[in-house]
Amino acid sequence: MSTESKPSDVSRRGFIKETSAAAAATSIFANNIPRVHAAEDNTIQVALVGCGGRGTGAAKNALSVKNGPMKLVAMADVFDFKLSSSYRDISGEFADKVDVPEERRFLGFDGFKKAMDCLKPGDIAIMATPPAFRWVQFKYAIEKGLNAFMEKPVTVDGPTSKRMLELGEKSVAKNMKVGIGLMCRHCVARQELHDRIKNGEIGDIILMRAYRMAGPTGSAATGKKPDNMSELMYQINRFHAFLWASGGGFSDFLIHNIDESCWMKDAWPIEAKGSGGRHYRGEDVDQNFDTYSVEYKFEDGSELLLNGRIIPGCHKEFASYAHGSKGSAVISTAGHHPAKCRIFKGQSMTNKNIIWQYPPDEPNPYQLEWDHLVAAIRDDKPYNEVERGVKASLVTSMGRMACHTGQLVTYDDMLNCEHEFAPQLESLTFDSPAPLQLVNGKYPVPEPGLKATREF
């Protein structure tokens, strides 16, 4: 990809590259969803399910797409304060693209169905609830014939990964267009770096390194439940703290570094071994470790070394690197955007050794992933990221389980692990017990070496 490509050309090539071979092959036999709407009304309607920060951001990106009219028509959440705040935020910025009266703002565990019922086949359902609910809501979107955007990760354990892979096949067969919130794959800088690596500019990749080391992030470190909230609602509200809801901070945050590194390698690792621990816990009661270190191995023997840490006062780094037989590269520099991709001669990543770098003013990948999805819908092009999203989620869970159990965990081990974190998820109501229960006043936590076949 040339750095002189026009943004529209880059976007078109980007979303075509994102389409999996399976999606392209299966679409030949697909039962087509009707083209967006009648010619006199080409508006794509959107329903937002999950009105937290990421859901609100995704809705704004959807309404910012320039390729034809978009309108937000329904919203759903289990927390009224999140729904109300999200509505004010979005409608304040996109008043002419929001039509969500009180009767189309749904509160409750069945609210996602009511919101999706407001759409027509070919519209888009955004699913940005805690990841545990992803397969339940996606199954209904398939039944309704809706296109979808699902935040990452899309699964948190083996059983839900198998379930989501099956649902992904059904969505491909129905010609659904589905985007997954691994937006780094839509970054034009990373795309050019990927192309250059494939062209041999750093030689064969031997080692990759990825870091997300910061202070406490999201709700990964969380204190005791307040008296005015039920156990179930507390765990959903603080979902990064509980493995059943999110896969913990490891799955929800480290997945981006893992996915972008696997993209550069064009492969998924076959096994993982790792370590980690809980250190300065204080009054925190969550299930997370404070440090994680994983060694992922690929089939050709090359490795990805991953480090995560959420301890305040320590060195911070949020970046991914690739080392090849001829040179090295920065995959991302300090967060998701801008990536500031660079290639170096040799292994010393200093300015004097730079032989290529992507120019400034990178397009925002959070917006590009929506531009690509909507373009595929309007042009009726094959576009389905479910399989790749599940594999990225599963590989992430594989590293997490290696740390939490102290065992070497293979890809197949993770896929076939029978421990489903929240098996009664479809039947939850406001009065349901939480999937995770206190034991002697504490939540079960990973115990490496003692719990070797399950994480808690």
Verify that 303 and 413 share a domain, yes or no.
yes
Please give the average per-residue pLDDT across 197-226, as a whole number.
95
Verify that 407 and 342 share a domain, yes or no.
yes
Asked if residue 442 belongs to a domain, the reply is no
* Residue 455 tokens, joined: 């994480």
- The tens digit of pLDDT for each residue in 348-357 reads 999 999 999 9
Residues 6+ away with beta carbon under 8 Å from 166: none
User: Is residue 175 exposed (0-12), middle (13-18) or buried (19+ Cβ within 10 Å)?
Assistant: buried
Question: Domain limits at 221?
Answer: 186-363+394-427
- The tens digit of pLDDT for each residue in 155-195 reads 999 999 999 999 999 999 999 999 999 999 999 999 999 99
Written as one letter, the residue type at 204 is D
CA distances from residue 361 to 7, 62, 188 in whole angstroms, order as listed: 11, 21, 11
* Residue 368 tokens, joined: 């590009």
Residues 6+ away with beta carbon under 8 Å from 8: none
Q: What is the tally of structural domains in the chain?
A: 2
Asked if residue 356 belongs to a domain, the reply is yes
Verify that 35 and 150 share a domain, yes or no.
yes
- The tens digit of pLDDT for each residue in 122-158 reads 999 999 999 999 999 999 999 999 999 999 999 999 9
Verify that 114 and 178 share a domain, yes or no.
yes
Nearest to 221 by CA among 106, 312, 347, 148: 312
Place of tokens 């765990």: 235
Verify that 91 and 114 share a domain, yes or no.
yes
Asked if residue 1 belongs to a domain, the reply is no
Verify that 285 and 356 share a domain, yes or no.
yes
Please give the average per-residue pLDDT across 72-86, as a whole number.
98
- The tens digit of pLDDT for each residue in 4-50 reads 333 333 333 343 344 433 343 333 333 343 344 433 489 999 999 99
